[in-house]
């Protein structure tokens, strides 16, 4: 009887340890930061891409979190002669499945929304007049794995997965709109995302 009781306590402790990071009431903090600079021979200045989108989520149930990311994207290209700046909001839902004590599989559904402006860039790389506004609405489903070296930190490996985007540009002078719809699968295992999330 004593051995059975000790066995049940051990199993309960292992189960609790596996769910401690993703149990109901916990908070997840993370996000992404990106920077890229490309200089074309003969161009006056380099093309620059920058983004920062911190995110926060709350576990509304065991292994299920909802939250949002809020951030900023900047893209200036001398070669295409335009500059895009956008404010981004990206609500998400994420569900975890326990594989072992320290490894979990997760699937994330997000709805990124971005609202920005387009400006002219001249041949010397200087920003000029506003050309229009942009609106982007998307849906992404992304799978991934999380490794928990301790109860507060999760190291994640994920791919983009399945996505849809509706991108609209509205011209400043005429009000004319150009809409682009894209849908595709981008599960490129040769270009994965690696990230860190914090659990409280």
Q: Is 19 helix (H, G, I), strand (E, B) or coil?
A: helix
Q: Where are the domains of the chain?
A: 2-199
Read off the pTM. Answer: 0.77
- Tell me the pLDDT tens digit for each residue of 104-140: 999 999 999 999 999 988 877 778 888 899 999 999 9
For position 197, what pLDDT does the model report? Answer: 86
For position 17, what pLDDT does the model report? Answer: 42
- Tell me the pLDDT tens digit for each residue of 50-70: 888 899 999 999 999 999 999
Which residues on adjacent β-strands are paired with residue 135?
115, 168
Q: Which of 56, 31, 116 is nearest to 82 (CA)?
A: 116
**Structural domain 2-199, CATH architecture:** Beta Barrel (2.40)
């Amino acid at each position: 009887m004593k051995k059975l009781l000790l066995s049940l306590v051990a199993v309960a402790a292992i189960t609790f340890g596996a769910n401690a990071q993703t149990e109901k009431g916990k908070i997840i903090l993370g996000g992404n930061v990106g920077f890229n600079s490309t200089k074309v021979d003969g161009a006056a200045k380099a093309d620059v891409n920058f983004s920062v989108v911190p995110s926060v989520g709350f576990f509304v149930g065991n292994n299920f979190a909802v939250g949002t990311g809020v951030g900023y994207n900047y893209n200036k290209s001398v070669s295409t002669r335009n500059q895009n700046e956008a404010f981004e909001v990206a609500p998400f839902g994420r569900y975890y499945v326990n594989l072992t004590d320290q490894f979990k599989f997760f699937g994330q559904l997000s709805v990124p929304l971005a609202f920005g402006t387009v400006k002219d860039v001249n041949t010397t790389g200087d920003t000029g007049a506003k050309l229009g506004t942009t609106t982007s609405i998307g849906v992404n489903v992304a799978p991934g794995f999380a490794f928990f070296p301790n109860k507060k930190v999760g190291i994640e490996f994920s791919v983009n997965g399945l996505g849809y985007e509706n991108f609209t540009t509205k011209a400043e002078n005429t009000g004319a709109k150009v809409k682009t719809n894209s849908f595709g699968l981008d599960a490129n295992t040769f270009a994965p995302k690696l990230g860190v999330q914090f659990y409280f």
